[in-house]
Amino acid sequence: MGGGLQNRAKVTTMTGLAGGRGQARFREANPLDAPNPKFEVGQIVITPAASAALEASGQTLAELLIRHQAGDWGDATEQVQAVNEQGLAHSLNLQSVYPVVSGQRLVVVTNRERTMTMIHVEPGGR
């Protein structure tokens, strides 16, 4: 399937959510250029905590998303990986988990419609 997909992703960073204001400002970045993606990621939304963890690790968002789109589910459990494999064929949510240098783990979830991918720090992480 991979070769025919065009990756038209747009990256959005959520900001301004602290302090209970409830307002979000969004910052957009350039689309990704993932080679041979297995699926579209749609709009990409990353939480401020995930963005900070990624920046501190020296890794890039593109690195994570390229792995995610290639079907490299990282540290996701075997059960989640099995659901992901079914999800590629049957339009289910897709989830990957990637550790960063700080010891935190970033969770990447693409919705079943392939219109949005959310990146956040795994709950309970440091």
Closest CA to 94 of 68, 62, 122, 64: 68
Q: Whole-angstrom Cα distance, residue 58 to residue 48? A: 16
What confidence category does residue 101 fall into, taking pLDDT thresholds of 50, 70 and 90?
confident
Residue 16 has pLDDT above 60, yes or no: no
What confidence category does residue 125 fall into, taking pLDDT thresholds of 50, 70 and 90?
low
The residue ranges of every structural domain in the chain are 2-121
Q: What is the pLDDT of residues 42-77, one digit of tens each?
A: 999 999 999 999 999 999 999 999 999 999 999 999
Determine what percent of the chain is predicted with pLDDT higher than 70: 71
Which amino acid belongs to residue 85?
E
Buried b (16+ CB within 10 A) or exposed e, 47-73: beebbebbeebebebbebbbbbbbbeb
What residues contact residue 106 under an 8 Å CB cut-off, 6+ apart?
50, 53, 54, 64, 97, 98, 99, 100, 119, 120, 121, 122
What residues contact residue 124 under an 8 Å CB cut-off, 6+ apart?
none
